[in-house]
Amino acid sequence: MDLKVKIGNQILPNPVGVASGTFGYGEEYGELIDLSKLGAIYTKAVTVLPREGNRLPRLTETPNGMINSIGLANSGVEGFLKNKVPFLNTIKSCKNIVNVAGSTEDEYVKVVEMIDHVESVWGYEINISCPNVKCGGLAFGTDPIQVERLTRVIKSKTKKPVIMKLTPNVTDITTVATACEIGGADAVSCINTVMGMKIDIHKKQPAIYQKTGGLSGPAIKPVGVAAVYRVSKKITIPVVGLGGIMNAEDAIEYFLAGASAIQVGTANFINPNAPLDILDGIKDYMKENNLNKISDFHGFID
């Protein structure tokens, strides 16, 4: 069985990664799970300058999911290089993919330029889809012309794989995915969180300070599967699927929908070993169904 996944001119050892913002920078989970067995760690977002993130409360549970409005809290690119890269340098086999966010094109480019010399960074996931920051992020992710230009500029600054992370909060996600492909992206990942809101009826106030936030977890899985299905029919570069993957069955749905790799997000908060349990379940299913490689999942569904 061959679990390798090719993205651009590079290879992931297996298709199971951990989603940005749900796994810190790897170190936080190092004692809980054998990181070397993961396909990829997609880091928490890195921005040019440190960000405190949004005011509390910024997390709340919902039926079958949670809403967050963390707001890209991180220690900035210099803090990342100084404090997070030394641990990432120790990770073997599993690939480190840095999630990059910004408010302007220049900010995205600066982060990539400052990180690109780090050998243990395998590639980038460009977050053009965060619903929790006022300018930038989501504004980029909803405009195909800006997305194409941003993709092209970032690709001109690095030889490492560039994965554009799409938002489901658009009229037609395939239009934005196509812009990524035209701009030269090596892959797209979908989906980021779905805009959501919860109101505390006793306080008669929103449950989080920002009022609306990003819904994640099982509640959004059908949205993610549909996005992956539609996007993978439209473009030829690999699609990384995520959104509500809690177990191997969920991951298999994503592969059948057209994903070449997947990410586990909210599930990590419940079971830190979920990604490796999911990897084992994928292998079992492949054995039982005589599937030898991930691309064998594709083609069952028209």
Alpha-carbon span 47 to 65, nearest angstrom: 27
Q: HSE (CB half, 13 Å, CA atoms) of 58?
A: 13
- Find the binder of ligand FMN among 21, 71, 196, 238 (CB under 6 A): 21
- Find the binder of ligand FMN among 7, 44, 164, 223 (CB under 6 A): 44
The interface with ligand FMN within residues 163-192 (CB under 6 A) comprises: 165, 192
Catalytic residue among 94, 130, 180, 190: 130
The interface with ligand FMN within residues 268-297 (CB under 6 A) comprises: none
Q: Which is nearer to ligand FMN, 20 or 232 (CB)?
A: 20
Alpha-carbon span 278 to 268, nearest angstrom: 11
Is residue 130 part of the annotated active site? The answer reads: yes
**Is residue 45 close enough to count as binding ligand FMN by CB under 6 A?**
yes
Q: What is the DSSP letter of 167?
A: P
- Per-state percent for the chain, helix, strand, coil, to nearest 5: 35, 20, 40
Alpha-carbon span 3 to 17, nearest angstrom: 13
- Find the binder of ligand FMN among 123, 196, 217, 238 (CB under 6 A): 217
Q: Is 202 helix (H, G, I), strand (E, B) or coil?
A: coil
Q: Is 136 helix (H, G, I), strand (E, B) or coil?
A: coil
- Find the binder of ligand FMN among 77, 173, 245, 261 (CB under 6 A): 245
Q: Binding-site residue total for ligand FMN (CB under 6 A)?
A: 24
Using CB under 6 A, which of the segments 26-34, 141-149, 240-248, 275-283 binds ligand FMN? Answer: 240-248
**Is residue 127 close enough to count as binding ligand FMN by CB under 6 A?**
yes
Alpha-carbon span 42 to 26, nearest angstrom: 9
**Is residue 19 close enough to count as binding ligand FMN by CB under 6 A?**
yes
Q: Which is nearer to ligand FMN, 70 or 173 (CB)?
A: 70
Q: Which is nearer to ligand FMN, 216 or 260 (CB)?
A: 216
**Is residue 72 close enough to count as binding ligand FMN by CB under 6 A?**
yes
**Is residue 227 close enough to count as binding ligand FMN by CB under 6 A?**
no
**Is residue 239 close enough to count as binding ligand FMN by CB under 6 A?**
no
Which residue's CB comes closest to ligand FMN? 21
**Is residue 77 close enough to count as binding ligand FMN by CB under 6 A?**
no
10-14 CB contacts, 8 Å cutoff, 24+ apart = 10/95, 10/122, 10/123, 10/160, 10/161, 12/39, 12/40, 12/95, 12/261, 13/39, 13/93, 13/94, 13/95, 14/38, 14/39, 14/279
**Is residue 54 close enough to count as binding ligand FMN by CB under 6 A?**
no
Binding site per annotation, positions for substrate: 44, 68-72, 127, 192-193
- Under a CB-based contact definition with an 8 Å cutoff, are residues 50 and 75 in contact? yes
Alpha-carbon span 158 to 112, nearest angstrom: 8
Q: Which residue(s) pair with 66 in the sheet?
A: 61, 216
CB of 229 to ligand FMN, least distance (A): 16
Report the largest interatomic distance among the alpha carbons of the chain, rounded to a whole angstrom: 55
Residues that bind ligand FMN (CB under 6 A): 19-22, 44-45, 68, 70, 72, 99, 127, 130, 165, 192-193, 216-217, 220, 242-245, 265-266
Residues labelled catalytic: 130
